[in-house]
Structures are given as structure tokens and as C-alpha cells.
Structure 1
Amino acid sequence: MVMKHTKVGIIGAGLTGLIAAKALSSKGVEVSVFEKLSQPGGRMRTENIDGWKLDVGFQVLLTAYPYLKKHVEFSKLNTFTVEAAATIFRDGKTTAVGDPFRTKNILFKTMFSDIGSIKDKWLIFQLKRYVDKRSIDYIFDERNRTTIEFLQEFGFSQQIIDRFFKPFFGGIFLENQLTTSSRMFLFVFKMFSKGNAVIPKAGISAVARLLEAKSINAKFNYNCEITKVDQETIHFKNGEKQSFDYVINTIPNYGKRKDLDQWQNCYNLYFEHSAPAIIKQARIGLNANENRLINNIFYPSVHQSPQDKKGKSLISVTVLNSNGLKEIQIIEKVIQELRADFNIKDARLIKMYEIPYALPKLDGPVNTISFDQSTKTFEVGDFLMNGSQNAACKIGEMVAERILEDLG
């Protein structure tokens, strides 16, 4: 068969590269994957530090993502479910809100919380009905505006926008002014509405390891630094080069592409403290206080119990905007806010991650694309459609199908 004599080089072992490798190698194509780091995953990596498993950037898997669900067997990941709820911290008080159909004992707390009016809470129910009635393709064809414009048009008050939507969806979009496209907001809201948010107990890198194992005929090469791609030839930093029939490049030249005018970045800090976790459930905590660095917190220690960490808690802190502060200043300010807003007085820094290019900012996200029929080198990733795990999986499948169609 032609496919057995076809060589495809894939640059990057993130979701897109892994899905493409799995799809092509399953058809007998000779696939070589090149990754700069020492492990697969790209933006979905886990590191073992000081006895804890740290995901490089707090993130969850949404089980309703159709292409993630298609390619990743959640039953093999040994996941735990993050509650469909949030604890909101504001002015020294805490408020619990959530989906009463999926979270126990949350109905009355939500109804009587001060995040918004009764009308606001009714509108959330109406918004759920709104997205449930619309297909994903329909959502991505809707009139495009910012998320905050959509929320205001829908009738939500500024109070609930500031106290719930900004901290919650700010943590997802990595910007808390809600300038992200309303299409992305509706898509993500629909995914949260239809399924669960889960995290692998072994860390988010379990997804990449599972996909790597399913690409049984692909060759994975780690610690490979690439200097350039010249047509279908990949050049490596050590001076070597390899030629292929097709090249899939999942690592864009950040800042040099005309269609990528901006990327969102963030900081993820992990601290250990001796006091009991201030949120004892697998639930996100939102910081609704004004002018803060901390956007949200989460306790990975609710599912991790290292032998030498008894009596210790591990807290993940997400910072969206450094406000021009240096790294040491960010750490100091976060520790101050942990003490003032969350009453955590003995936080010890385990690791701080600066995550550049964490999420593409696209003015008009879409749900599908088409490829040039004459090309044999592809630059692909979620940045071509929308910034999501679902798009990363879908684009990996699509580029593999495009090559297989070319091969007949």
C-alpha cells in the first residue's frame, strides 16, 4: 500500500499532534513525532515536584467536548469530577453557588447568595435552555460580539457579571474583562451544561500518555529542538535534517502570523500550607474582590495524598494579569492576598509557572476550516478555529484525514 511507504513528520506532541499521529499511524502511515520537551502533552503537562503532582497550568477536561470524547477514553484516565459549583470569596465572606441538579445541598445557597438578583439566577436557567437548544455549529455561526456585550444584552446585572461571570469565565478565557467572543462563551457554557469537568488523578499529562500509547506505530522523539522547516524537510538544532512526504507543524511562530494578533498568557502558582484546605470539596474558588492578582484557586490535594504530606494541603493559584510586576513581586503579592482574602497564613511556594501563549485570542472563532489542496506542509492547531481542547482534537483529526484523502 502507498500509505506504508508514506512518511509524515509531526512537530509537537500536544493534543493536535497526538491525534494526528494516532489517526495516521493506525492506517499504516510511517509517523515520526518530534517534541522539544521530555514528555508529550504540550500545554497539558504534569510535573512531579516536592512530592506533589503539578499540572503546568490549572485545567480541567470537559466530558461534553465531542472530539475530546471521541479520541480520549475517559474511563481509562481514572478521573475525579470537579463539582458543578464554586465558592466565591468577597469582602471576607464566602458564598457557594452551583448547579442544583448536579451538586448536593446547593440550591438554597445559590438562591440566597448575593452574587446577583433573583432575576439574574433565573436568567442563568434561561441561558442554559438557550444553549441546549442550539447546536455547536449554530453557536459558531451566531452574530459575533464580546461576551460582556452578550451578557448585558441577555439582561444580566453588572453585579452578577462582576461577582460570578468575570472571575469564573475569566479563568477559562484567561482575561477577566470578558472581551472574548460570545461564540466561545456560549460554546463553553453549553459544554459545562451538557457534561462534567474532570481531572485525571495522575495529572493532566495522563491524557497525552494515553494518546501516545494508542499511536502504536508512531515513533516519538523527545528533547528535539527544531530550527526551521523548509518545504517538507525538518532541520534540527544539532545540524541534522530529515525529509518527509508531509509535515504537520503544530508549533506556530508566535507573534509572526498575521492571523494571530494576540495570545493570552497567565501564571500558575502552587503553594503548600499546613492548615486544612479552606475548600474541602473538589470545587473551584473564585476571588471576587476588586484589584486582585488572584483570579481563582483550587486544591489538587483533595485527590492527592502523598505519604510524607499528611496534614498538608496543596493549593493552585491562577493569576491572569501580572500588572507589570516582576516574578518575585507577583509571588509576594499572591502570598499577601492568600492571607488577606483566604486567611491562609503559612503558604510556602512550591512552583511558579509563567505560561506564555496559553490561549489564542481570536476575534471570530469558528468550528471548521478547509485546507489548501496543494500543500504538503501544514501549520495547524486550535488557533485556526477556537482555543479549546475540542478544537485541538478536531484539527488533528482533520489534517490526518486530509493527508489520507491525498493518498487515496
Structure 2
Amino acid sequence: MKRPKIAIVGAGLTGLVAAKELSNKGIEVSVFEKLNQPGGRMRTEEIEGWKLDVGFQVLLTAYPYLKKHVTLSELENQKLEAAATVFREGRTTAVGDPFRVKNILWKTAFSDIGSVKDKWLIFQLKRYVDQRSIDTLFEEKNDTTIGFLKKFGFSEQIINRFFKPFFGGIFLENELTTSSRMFLFVFKMFSEGNAAIPKTGVGAVGKQLEAKIKNANVNYNCEVSKIEGQSIYFENGDKESFDFVINTIPNYGKRKSHDLWQNCYNMYFEHSNPAIIKEARIGLNANKNQLINNIFYPSVSQNPKGKEGKALISVTVLDAKELKDHKLVEKVIQELKNDFNVRDPRLVKMYEIPYALPKMNPPVNAVSFDKNAKTFELGDFLMNGSQNAACKIGEEIASHIVSLVDL
């Protein structure tokens, strides 16, 4: 049997891992990406000397399939503290893992983030996830995150002041309706590893994966208009046919429905007064009915020429409350001044991200493929919305195709 030709549409994590695995087996692979760089939803742009991630993201170093396919030690990662600064009613509270963050034990113990019982329950929750495998967590009874937290015994106080702002920022929704399976999985990953950001931005992940691909044809600025069977039609009018087609476009076809996705806004502001958080640590907004969910200072690890004395702050908004463009920016600037004491912030860039995270109910950790299929539509949206799932399904589709062909 002649070696098959494989087309991969999309150069996000799933497409890149699949291309790496297939091409390294000697299979002919062509990747088609409409953007001018790899990474998909994990990409970085340089604006005014700053490196801006298109949507604030962190790498969880405990993700088993991420660390299997990405050499994290080569990314020059800025490790985030296992802590957060919570902003509420004009006060700040530092909370964190006393086993991993110096001098935070008593701050956490005496914080008003929750009761003594709440803090004991967090320890119990850590034991709960440590004793269970990832597969086991994805087989647990499915509930909402908010439902699980209440049944576990957490108070409304700690749910509103910590869990909603922190995990709301991860799940991109304010009410914690995301599956409890996903919550337990993410909690376990935070417990077992670190959150980190490459100093050159999350786009470094895609670039590293691309460099690991051997003998594949990776085409950028190449937009696919439609896929019919094993034929791909391009915006420039060309058509090409393959033995197998792997379509990793997240919002393709029926998945364009916004009901299937969480969206968010990510804004970057420059300001001259000192950063209000000096550490590599996330800031959470626990004030009620506000637009800003979380803040982070990329300038902790960036020092571009000509930006001396300037700070760069990333702001994530989950619910824009129907505000658009300059009205949304005006309200966010007002909150930065009032809630965070950031003086004279200047907008550098705003990103609206309509397909930021797939809604999965229930999320799973395994999928199977049709042995007779020649075309596949896949990505983390078939499992669970995570970098881990994106890498895992890329590896598994490559293994599936290898099993079908005679090498």
C-alpha cells in the first residue's frame, strides 16, 4: 500500500500534535492554517513592543499530555505563584498555598475570604483529588461546580469571594455552571503542578510544536472554504484531495453556534504608576456586579526597550453586559481606577474572543474513532476544554490513522 496523504486543517495544539506524530512516522502530512502563525487559540502578538497573548492563558505544568508533547523546560516559563490577590470593597487579601508560597500562611489563615471550616475543606478537597486518577474524576457523577461546592460544605462567603472569581476566570463564566468533573480535574492539576506563562507568550508553545514536526508541509495564510469528503476547497479557488482529512477548526459547521461556546474579552492597558501586584500572581475581582473578573501583569517578566517605568496589565471580562467597543473600554477603565487604584490606564489592545472555550456537559476524557471513516472533525471540544485534551486527541487520532495503514 502506498503511503497515505493526510490533510490537517488548523494549526492549533490538536493539529500540531497530530502532524508531529504522523510525520514522524514517515506519513505525508499537509497542514493548512488561515492565520500567519501556529497555535490557534494559543497565540501571541507583538504590539508596541509588548508581547500580548490573544486571551489571557496559563500553562498547567501537571497536564500529562501537554508535558508529553511540549518540552516545558525550553519555554523560559514564568512560574506563577500558587496564590491570588483578592480585591474587594477597597481592600486586598492575599491567599495561597502555604506549602508553596513563602510568608502567606498567616495571611491566608486570617483572611476574610472564608471561614476556618472553609479553609479546612480546601485541604480536604486537595486530598480528595490527590487520591483519584484523572480518568476516575471524569467518571464521577456529573453536577455543576456550584452544586458540588455547596454539597462539599463550602460557605457562600468563600464561593463568592474565591471560587467564583478564580474558577470563573478559568471556565469563562460567572455562575460556575461548568461541570464538577471539569472543576475537579482542574483543581487536581493546580494541586499537582504550577501555572506558568512563557516569557515570550503562549505562542511559544505552538512554535515549539511546529519545530518538532519532521517533513510536513505547513501552509500559513491558507484559508479553507469548505470540506467535502476527502476534498478540501480553498478560498483562492484551489482544490486538493487526500486519503484522510483531519479537521480541527473549533467553530466549523454546526459548531459555529455561540450556544456551544464561552466567550470573553481580553484587554491590555499600559500605565505609569507602579504595578499594584508586584509578584507573578493573578488578581481576582470579588466586588459584586463588576465587569473585570481578573487581572495579571505580563510586565512582571517583560522588559521591552523604551518601556522603562511602564507597567502592562491584562484584564479579562467574562460578561460585557451588552456594552460594546469604547463604552466597554470606558467602563473597564473606570473599574481599574476605582477597584484597583490603577491611575491613567491607556488601552494598548482589546481582543474579543467569541470561541474561547467549548461548553461540555458532561466532559469526558476518552473518545473513539470510526474505523471506516476517512474524515474526522475533532479537537478538545470532543473531550473537555483544556490544553491537555487538545494534545491528547491529537496524539490519539494520529495513532488511529497509523493503525489503519500499512507502514
TM-score by length of 1: 0.98
**CA gap 1:251/1:28 in 2 versus in 1, 3 angstroms:** same
Paired residues in the alignment total 406
What are the Cα deviations for residues 326-357 of structure 1, in whole angstroms up to 9, with x where unaligned?
11111000000000000112100000000011
CA contact (8 A) 2:267 2:349 kept: yes
Instruction: Tell me if the contact between 1:260 and 1:360 (Cα under 8 Å) persists in the aligned partners.
Output: no
Q: 1:301 to 1:290 in 2, by over 3 A?
A: same
Separation (CA, whole Å) in 2 of partners of 1:225 and 1:136: 36
Instruction: Label 1:36 to 1:259 Cα distance change in 2 as closer, same or farther (>3 A).
Output: closer
Alignment match, 1:381: 379
Who is 2:77 aligned against?
A: 79
Q: Partners of 2:137 and 2:253 in 1: how far apart?
A: 28
Does 1:181 find its partner at 2:174?
A: no
Identity in percent:
73
1:270-349 alignment, distance < 5 Å: 270-349=268-347
Letter in 1 for 2:271: H
Task: Report matched runs for 1:238-257 at 5 Å.
Answer: 238-254=236-252, 256-257=254-255
Q: 1:247 to 1:46 in 2, by over 3 A?
A: same
**1:351 counterpart SS class:** strand
Q: Which moved more, 1:267-276 or 1:73-82?
A: 73-82
Contact 1:136 1:187 (8 Å CA) reproduced: yes
2:402 corresponding residue in structure 1 = 404
* 1:113 equivalent in alignment to 2:125: no
SS in 2 for 1:57: coil
RMSD: 1.2
Residue aligning to 1:126: 124
Amino acid corresponding to residue 218 of structure 1 in structure 2: A
Kindly indicate whether the alpha-carbon contact (under 8 Å) linking 2:173 and 2:318 is maintained by their aligned counterparts in 1: yes
Q: Which amino acid aligns with 2:359?
A: K
* Whole-Å separation in 1 of the counterparts to 2:88 and 2:167: 17
The residue aligned with 1:20 is 18
Match of 1:215 among 213, 219, 222: 213
Q: 1:372 to 1:182 in 2, by over 3 A?
A: same
Shift in Å, 1:363: 1.1
Q: In the alignment, what sits opposite 1:137?
A: 135
Q: Which residue of 2 aligns with 1:234?
A: 232
1:104 paired residue among 90, 102, 115: 102
Shift of 1:176: 1.3
Q: Over residues 278-332 of structure 1, what are the superposed CA-to-partner deviations in whole Å (9 max), with x where a residue is unaligned?
A: 0000000000000000000000000000120000000000000111111111100
* 1:188 CA drift (Å): 0.1
Report if aligned partners of 1:269, 1:352 keep a CA contact under 8 Å in 2. Answer: yes
Q: Distance in 1 between matches of 2:254 and 2:111?
A: 46
Match status 1:153 vs 2:151: yes
| Cα offsets for 1:116-164 (capped at 9, x unmatched) | 0000000000000000000001100000000000000000000000000
Shift of 1:400: 0.4
**TM-score, length of structure 2 as denominator length:** 0.98
**Match for 1:377: what amino acid?**
T
The SS at the match of 1:134 is coil
- SS state at 1:307 partner: coil
CA contact (8 A) 2:251 2:355 kept: no
- Residue in structure 1 matched with residue 388 of structure 2 by the alignment: 390
Distance in structure 1 (CA, Å) of the matches to 2:120 and 2:253: 42
* 1:253-290, Cα deviation, whole Å (9 max, x unpaired): 45714999520000000000000000000000000000
Aligned residue identity for 2:313: I
